[in-house]
Structure 1
Amino acid sequence: MIRSLSLLALLALAPAVLAQDFPSTPPAPAAPRTFDIPEGRTLSLDNGVDVTLVPYGDLPKATVYAVVRVGNVDEAADQTGWADLMSGLLTEGTATRSSEDIAREAAEMGGSVSAGTGLDQMFVSGRVLSEFTPALVGLIGDVLRNPAFPADAFERVQRDALRGAAVARSQPGTLAQAAFYRTLYGEHPYANVILPDAADVEAATADDVRAFYDAQVGPQRTRLYVVGRFDEAAVEAALRTAFGDWTGGPAPADPTPPTATEGRRVILVDQPGAAQSNVIVGLPALDPSSPDYVTLQVTNALLGGSFGSRITRNIREDKGYTYSPGSSVSSRFRNAYWAESAAIQTPSTGPAIAEILYEIDSLATTPPSADELRGIQNYLAGTFVLQNSSPGGIASILAFMDLHGLGRDYLEEYTTRVYAVTPEDVRRTTAEVLRGDDAAIVVVGDRSVVEAQLTEFGDVTLTTLD
């Protein structure tokens, strides 16, 4: 009975509650928050090694991230793939540690150590429990400074590289990316990073890779980042012990950026019988040193770089031409490109490309609405914070900033700059940077079906990826 009376009392109050005045519109969004991290400290060793120390977070872990300015861009014409062989061998043993020793020591610290190579940089990194940070510095110092390049490990790494290249050549998406890079970069070393020449990899010896290491790796090209919870004095002492007496090696050198290409190019790689075409539409774009780089990132997210973007809604949701399209801005030293990629049903290859170009042209002439732009800004600001809120994320973004000569304000004011972009900024950037008439259109698909669909975009060049 009491329960029934209580319910009746609540129902009696409902009209009064409903009669109250409630806002008819949602509240205005709060001011964007800056992405703040501790200032940290940078120290320079006498031999040229720079180190950035950033205390961050509450978890008792730390990341050590060593970056060397060497990558695929430093490979000669007959050395494609050698930078990857080099980084693949770093954790295979040093003068005093076997590969098993390296893995075991890292595991005993509660973490691991890995190495890899990109177009412009090589890295050796690890993440361990805080109390082992000085020991991790010593381990990474040994891995980076004293690689043994053991013959048995070299043969295995070489076989793995050749096997990986063979598998890549059977994947249409990889073939499209390789053809796009070769179209965009011509004779520049970047052109061959997706599919290194198997003959170059097979011809390499352990001595060749050691010589490549000696010519490209040294203290003046090395920078370290230590981020997380750690004893700063102990870590600094470990850094001086592990890296302070490192000598020799090359002086810093900035690679020659590729020459920008202009004019529409239509490239076709034949895949007889393919049920779908792997398509890339892209062109050179602004690199991170440009003051409009953040505007380009906002433009990309609105055009094709988010799930609710215009191209995605058009060719996925509305037309059903593809399942997982997407665009991105990819950067390297003093260079970048924008590209939209998609795996498209073969009969719809031409129509899908036409819609991609339509969306580019449309955004170049008509600014987006304020509401559409605000949704993209919220998405981009949120993902930036999420991606860079870990010690590893902070180390990575700091290395990115140093490579491109960006000040600390890039990180701390990124979200503010995202929200400062106007609809007209997006339209202008699309018109000035994403020029459809200068786009490379690369298609890996069944020539007998798609070639006729491509002629409306320009003369079709048939190519192979031998």
Structure 2
Amino acid sequence: MNKITIPALILAAAVSSTMLAQKQMPPEGAPPKAFTVPANESYTLPNGLKVTLVPYGIIPKVTVSMAIKAGSINQVPNHGGVSDITAELLKEGTEKLTPEQLADEAARMGSTLDINAADDQTSAGLDVLSEFGPDAVRLLSDVLQHPRLPESELPRLKNDMLRQIALSSSRPQTIALVRFRKILYGDHPYSVVLPTDAEVKAITLNDVKAYLASNFNPQRSHLYVAGKFDTGAVKKAIAESFSKWSQSGSAWKADIPTPNSQRILDVTDRPGAPQSTLIIGLPVPPPNSPDAIPFLVTNALLGGSFNSRITANIREQKGYTYSPRSSISARYHDAYWAESADVTTQFTGPSIKEIFGEIDRLKDAPPTDPELKGIQNYLSGLFIIQNSSRDALISQLQYVDFQGLGEDYLKTYVAKVNAVTPADVQKMTADYLKSPEMTIVVVGDKSKITDQLAPWSAQ
């Protein structure tokens, strides 16, 4: 038995080794598929409210979402936190519905009311069973036009916000972001990451009412409906519910900043910290720029994906950090690129050196075709996945409409990503990622990192 078994095992091992060798190279993937925007209808009510209806999918659900051009950028100076408090207070019932009744009504449709304020916009929506599409439109209309705004809830909401601010302010990532945004944007509203405690404590119900009266109106709003729904019934509900929305309030005005491109080394001491939090970046082409998509591909290759060069360098090869990542912000016609990482304290300086080293390497030589194609396939597939749900599709449409990118943006996105060449990537790096103009923010133990940072403090 042994004389038969041992040769057989040797033969099996040899065959197995041959098969493994043959499987080293995975099969080439299929060509990326273009994203097809579902057929949709857009129109405008006489009061200026824009409406987009997107029949989509086979699941019997529909998302009703309102995007309003009002956010923290529209707050009165020294009134930080009002936009967020307003969003929370809108959930506290309507003139006809108590907070409990409002929550019950949303639950009856299979949903919860979601309202969020961001820098530029406030979104309010429900994701309901298809049969309740018209009811969701009517409920959202009631919330936006006839909010209860109970003053009794204001202390609780302000205390919640103060706790959130205290928690966020203790995190080195937030501390670094606060410093980074302040350096880039100066006195522009985009520089503010968190309101101050004093601002939140001073918020009154009159502040909320004034903010609503000034910024919430149909001319600054766009209603999106996506999913399976009765088009006729939904259009009727929209007309009945929103046609009388008052046009009072101010018109929307763009407030585009001029961010600073400057080499500043900004260090915040965090004694005893086992890690240093880094943010390195500068302003880059905004979403409406012709270079936005080529630069997006460049970012994904350099630091914006798990297989990116910076990640491979300081995470996989050197083990300086666990989760480095570069990203591109996207506010109205404004953007910045930033590489962020929490690195082991003793490797703070070496991490910065390697980040700049990878940028310089991409300036000196373009990526190979296989490396670029892998990134393009990743971005193409990710884009399709990001548009595979009702909420995601609405988010994409909102982004395109808000930035004024045109109806072909989503249709041509995959093709444009895959049209980027290695030479384009090299050019984007050279044109926009200028190391001498990058701001470097570090939050860490100064006693252990000051010497490491010396090479950049003198530049």
1:403 paired to 2:402: yes
| 8 Å Cα contact 1:60/1:129 also seen in 2 | yes
Q: Deviations over 1:433-462 (max 9, x none)?
A: 1211111111111111112222211359xx
| 8 Å Cα contact 2:184/2:261 also seen in 1 | no
| 8 Å Cα contact 1:61/1:228 also seen in 2 | yes
Letter in 1 for 2:218: P
| 8 Å Cα contact 2:214/2:250 also seen in 1 | no
Which residue of 2 is the match for residue 453 of structure 1? 452
Shift of 1:297: 1.1
- Identity of counterpart residues, as a percentage? 45
Which residue of 2 is the match for residue 288 of structure 1? 287
Which residue of 1 is the match for residue 243 of structure 2? 244
Q: Deviations over 1:62-83 (max 9, x none)?
A: 1111000011111232111111
CA distance in 2, matches of 1:72, 1:384: 28
| 8 Å Cα contact 1:73/1:255 also seen in 2 | no
CA distance in 2, matches of 1:174, 1:246: 39
CA distance in 1, matches of 2:453, 2:26: 47
| 8 Å Cα contact 2:33/2:380 also seen in 1 | no
Which residue of 1 is the match for residue 164 of structure 2? 164
CA distance in 1, matches of 2:251, 2:29: 46
Letter in 2 for 1:443: V
Letter in 2 for 1:281: I
State the secondary structure of the residue aligned to 2:260: coil
1:121 paired to 2:143: no
Which residue of 2 is the match for residue 209 of structure 1? 208
CA distance in 2, matches of 1:442, 1:406: 32
Structure 2 counterparts to residues 47-446 of structure 1, below 5 A: 47-192=47-192, 194-446=193-445
Q: Deviations over 1:157-207 (max 9, x none)?
A: 111111100111111111111111111111001111x22111111111112
State the secondary structure of the residue aligned to 2:395: helix
Letter in 1 for 2:223: L
Distance 1:458 1:247, change over 3 A: same
Distance 1:61 1:443, change over 3 A: same
CA distance in 2, matches of 1:150, 1:26: 61
Letter in 1 for 2:89: L
Q: Deviations over 1:261-291 (max 9, x none)?
A: 1221111111111111111111111111011
Distance 1:79 1:399, change over 3 A: same
Q: TM-score, normalised by structure 2?
A: 0.93
CA distance in 1, matches of 2:389, 2:375: 23
State the secondary structure of the residue aligned to 2:222: strand
Structure 1 unaligned spans of 5+:
1-14, 461-466
Letter in 1 for 2:260: T
Shift of 1:26: 7.8
What do you get for the CA RMSD once the two structures are aligned?
A: 2.0
Letter in 2 for 1:337: Y
State the secondary structure of the residue aligned to 1:333: coil
| 8 Å Cα contact 1:216/1:249 also seen in 2 | no
Letter in 2 for 1:378: N
Structure 1, 386-395 or 25-34: larger mean CA deviation: 25-34
Shift of 1:399: 0.4
State the secondary structure of the residue aligned to 1:112: coil
| 8 Å Cα contact 1:265/1:459 also seen in 2 | no
Structure 2 unaligned spans of 5+:
1-14
CA distance in 1, matches of 2:334, 2:222: 21
Q: TM-score, normalised by structure 1?
A: 0.91
